[in-house]
Structure 1
Amino acid sequence: MNSQIRLACADDAAAISRVIVQSLRRSNAQDYPADVIARVEKGFSAKSILALMSQRQVFVATVDQSVVATASLDHDVVRSVFVDPDHQGLGLGRQLMATLCSVARDANIKTLRVPSSITAEGFYLTLGFVKVRDEFHGAERTIIMEQRI
């Protein structure tokens, strides 16, 4: 597998949107009702991704130059970590998280926080994050986790 982690560019917005929507529909839909998935999807259109790129450091993982995963860093908060379901379990999420941790350390950030989905909680636990609390946004449960780096 020829993978690479790099900063996202504007040309990646549509591909990032596709990765996120596919992940929501195939992975997160196992843990959340359809109305929650549909609401969350609305925040990840290509246009919304472009707007997020101006507010966060957005990274992508590519395989053979195709975007298959994404993650972003918003100061000390990890956001929008998604791996295309066909590429999950290959270490791309771990590579993205290692990149975010490195960027955070370089920025002298001591603690990273992540609002985790139910689906991703186990992933973050394996990376050393600990649960701080649950938050609810209607029917959507988010697990707030953190890790000292």
Structure 2
Amino acid sequence: MTCTIIRPAVEADASEVSRVILAALVTSNAQDYPASVIERVQASFTPNAVLHLMRQRQMFVATVDGVLVGTASLDGHAVRSVFVDPLHQGGGVGRQLLAAVEQAARQAGVIRLRVPSSVTAEGFYARLGYIRVGEHYQDQELTLIMERDLEHSVQ
């Protein structure tokens, strides 16, 4: 039996968070974006870059049987950097991470969350009640802007 635990990230997690993000980018996101975009985004998630983000955001990690397999962050009113190891995608880890982010947002008084979503993750967010409210296109990268009203949603 597997045991998924969602907890706040700590600095010692930076390398594993980076590993998970990079694996998801090259396996999942590469299906929807050109190599140049994947390479540019990868540069934003080195272990040192992740460590820097940890100090700016409220970051969570998911572990399954002690192995780090996912991450998600709350940055003010925005969901950021939701990634799950490709071997664990589709098993509820992302949903559990997003629930932790939403709970932290509610505790901080946030009533509407916004997520800059990849094309790859649009269906995931839509299934969790996020609606597409816009899009941003830059350097061959399409980012979908999605929102969810936390004030009127079921916890």
TM-score by length of 2: 0.95
Q: Which runs of 5+ in 2 are unaligned?
A: 151-155
| Runs of 4+ deviating beyond 6 Å | none
RMSD: 0.5
Q: 1:115-142: CA deviations, max 9, x gaps?
A: 0000000000000000011101210000
Aligned partners of 2:93 and 2:120: how far apart in 1?
16
- Counterpart check, 1:65 vs 2:66: yes
Aligned partners of 2:111 and 2:135: how far apart in 1?
22
Give 1:96's aligned amino acid: L
Identity, % of aligned pairs?
54
Aligned partners of 1:74 and 1:137: how far apart in 2?
21
Please name the residue that 2:153 is paired with: none
Please name the residue that 1:115 is paired with: 116
Aligned partners of 1:54 and 1:125: how far apart in 2?
29
Q: How many residues align?
A: 149
Q: Which runs of 5+ in 1 are unaligned?
A: none
TM-score by length of 1: 0.99
Please name the residue that 1:86 is paired with: 87
Q: 1:38-77: CA deviations, max 9, x gaps?
A: 0000000000000001100010000111110000000110
Give 1:109's aligned amino acid: V
Secondary structure (helix, strand or coil) at the match of 2:19 reads helix
Aligned partners of 1:72 and 1:101: how far apart in 2?
10
Give 1:17's aligned amino acid: S
Please name the residue that 2:32 is paired with: 31
